[in-house]
Amino acid sequence: MGIIFFILIAGAWAAFLLPSYLDSRRDDPSESTHEYAVTKARLGALAGSEEPLADEYYAARASQVRRQRVFIAMMAAALSSLVLAVMLSSYLWLGISIFIDVLIGTYIAMLLYLRQQAAVRRRTVVPLQPEVPTEAEDLDIDVAAPTVRIIGG
């Protein structure tokens, strides 16, 4: 009987709080900026001009928020499984907690690898040496200093 009462109270709170939460997200300044960028892109496409858009920024921001949420959920799962393992003195929950910890470590390693790969893609390529002739016909022996010296004899 108590669980039914709890579910009814939770449902009533959700009925009152969820619509206001969803409306506040729609009125968020970043949403209005996003709508402005979309409208500007449509008008720019009609006018034939191609200006850089903020779509990449919004995609990166959404990806960052999604990654933060996944990380927080994994941390909550790890903490709750550890609490259960201690409270119940259960080796099964301890194993689950360790498994979730390994998943968190793997997730962080993957994020660091992706960040490193993105940094590598953004870098410019700088040649290490100036163009050096590789064929014997291209070498000017009179001007070039010899690179091999024979000592002794």
Could you tell me the sign of the dihedral formed by the alpha carbons of 22, 15, 13, 5, in that order?
negative
Q: What percent of the chain has pLDDT over 90?
A: 24
Distance CA 79, CA 77 (A): 6
Residues 112-136: tens digit of each pLDDT? 998 888 888 877 776 666 666 666 6
**What is the structure's pLDDT at 78?**
92
Say whether pTM exceeds 0.85: no
Residues 68-111: tens digit of each pLDDT? 999 999 999 999 999 999 899 889 999 999 999 999 999 999 99
User: Could you tell me the residue ranges of all domains in the chain?
Assistant: 9-53, 54-121
Q: Which residues are CB-neighbours of 49 under 8 A, at least 6 positions away?
A: none
Phi, psi at 6, each rounded to 5°: -60, -45
